[in-house]
Amino acid sequence: MSIARLPLRVVLRPIPTFRSRPQGRSLVSASDLNFGQPLHETHPHLIKPGELTPGISALEYHHRRAALARKLPRNSIAVLAASELKFRSGPVFYEFHQEPNFYYLTGFNEAEAVAVIEKGQTDVEYTFHLFVRSKDERAELWDGARSGVQAAQDVFNADEAGDIDNVANLLPDVIKSATMVYTDIGSHKKKSAVSRFFSGSSTKVDAFAKLLQNSTVKSLRPLMNEVRLTKSEAELDCMRKAGRISGAVITEAMRNTYKSEKQLWADLAYGFKTQGLDGEAYVPVIGGGHNALSIHYVRNDAVLNDHDMVLVDAGGEYGGYITDITRTWPVSGKFTDPQKDMYNMILDVQKSCVSLCREDADVSLDKLHRVAENGLKNGLKDLGFDKSRSGCLDTLFPHHVGHYIGLDVHDAPGYPRTDKLKENQCITIEPGIYVPINDERWPEHFRGLGIRIEDSVRIGSEKVEVLTSTALKDVEAIEALK
């Protein structure tokens, strides 16, 4: 795509017109049509003028594709597939969640689609191909609206658009013309999401892989990690909104008294949606008492007892961008002395790590982890733990102190934790201590206690921005809520 071409289409996008039928001649306004996702013309209460998805403009999506194209060698392509709809049983499906890299480059939020970014012979030009489901009146009667092929061009700014059912005839020529293909389709030893669109494929050979057998193929993920790692101001605003609202919902939950994990979970999910977020960013951990010792405990079906603490790892998302928060508080609203001592020790470590989330601090995720380990070791010693025991922190602090966040809860998977953190990257800081129930190596009054404190943080140049500061975490502030 010529960079000079796209702004024209973006300017026109808020008021596009479409053919009412493939064979028809009349043109209608976008507001009179149905699409497979909210647009400003159909959902002005959700999408602002110029935006393609909440908070993100059509022009920004072009800049993202252009940024990827600059990283591709000349005469090469990147191929991405949308997520497939997953079925729970029979025709009953799970809630759809778009493949993050596909979503990041296209803003297209439907299943059964393929995107190709084709790098030409210059560094400032690319062609955006988008293959999607065509409009189908009968299918849409059952499954809801589709955006269709025409919208792939007029709304999502594809240079070349086609019916996904015809991709077997259209994609091979694009692939054959490329000197190198970057893709992760089928890389996880699962049947390729696009294979079923190729007729006559062997049941033993992935059709898409067979199509690539004469091509030089490389993984796309490392390049996508590089372009996604540093957030734009629009992305940060989405994450700020998700963090601000999620934190406030969790603080409100601290005010209430719950009899069960499930009741607390229901209140959080309700709060995220009613306060303006799209919903939950992930299946939360609502771990009361000993359940907090399981890092990814998600059954959330136990009774909450007054003398216990409850560990809540939860957050909402906005426009696909997530927030990740963990708070641990006493079910009764008042800390016991052992709970308070352990909690304040972990909070001090968490705050010291958060204070280092600046570009001028010259830190990496691994360096922050070492800071957390040293702080926890010293704090545990002061609380009477024998830190000389073999595997002390392997047992008490078994996870890393943080990870990248963005469209994914664990953003940029595989990106090295040893790289220096830079301005506008976003991470979590989440130290925790989990003391086994029946392990005589540890002081008895701490056994069975699991505490984690986590915030989502933007790396600043000289100043830290905590995206989730509305979730209270000081002992005095928590106790004052009840």
Q: pLDDT, tens digit, for every residue of 308-361?
A: 999 999 999 999 999 999 999 999 999 999 999 999 999 999 999 999 999 999
Topology of the domain comprising 6-227: Creatine Amidinohydrolase; Chain A, domain 1 (3.40.350)
Category of 241 on φ-ψ map: left (φ > 0), alpha (ψ -120 to 50) or beta = alpha
Enter the CATH code of domain 230-479: 3.90.230.10
DSSP 3-state of 363: coil
All CATH 3.40.350.10 domain ranges in the chain, comma separated: 6-227
Give the residues across from 119 on adjacent strands: 126
Instruction: Please give the pLDDT value at position 121.
Output: 87
Instruction: Please give the pLDDT value at position 1.
Output: 41
- CA-to-CA separations, 84 to 171, 181, 199, 306, 360, in angstroms, rounded: 19, 22, 18, 44, 42
Rounded distance, CA 158 to CA 138, Å? Answer: 26
Count of beta carbons in the 10 Å neighbourhood of residue 4: 9
Instruction: Please give the pLDDT value at position 130.
Output: 97
14: its two tokens: 């808020």
All CATH 3.90.230.10 domain ranges in the chain, comma separated: 230-479
The amino acid occupying position 395 is: T
Instruction: Please give the pLDDT value at position 392.
Output: 87
Its pTM surpasses 0.85: yes
- CA-to-CA separations, 374 to 182, 379, 417, 473, in angstroms, rounded: 41, 9, 18, 22
Closest CA to 289 of 315, 268, 265, 307: 307
Q: Spell out, as residue ranges, where the chain has pLDDT lower than 70.
A: 1-32, 188-193, 195-206, 388, 390
Asked if residue 407 lies in contact with residue 323, where contact means CB atoms within 8 angstroms, the answer is: no
294: its two tokens: 């399981």
Task: Measure CA 423 to chain center.
Answer: 19
Rounded distance, CA 69 to CA 46, Å? Answer: 30
Rounded distance, CA 155 to CA 29, Å? Answer: 12
Number of helices (H), then strands (E), in the chain? 14, 23
Backbone angles phi, psi at 92, to 5 degrees: -85, 120
Asked if residue 53 lies in contact with residue 319, where contact means CB atoms within 8 angstroms, the answer is: yes
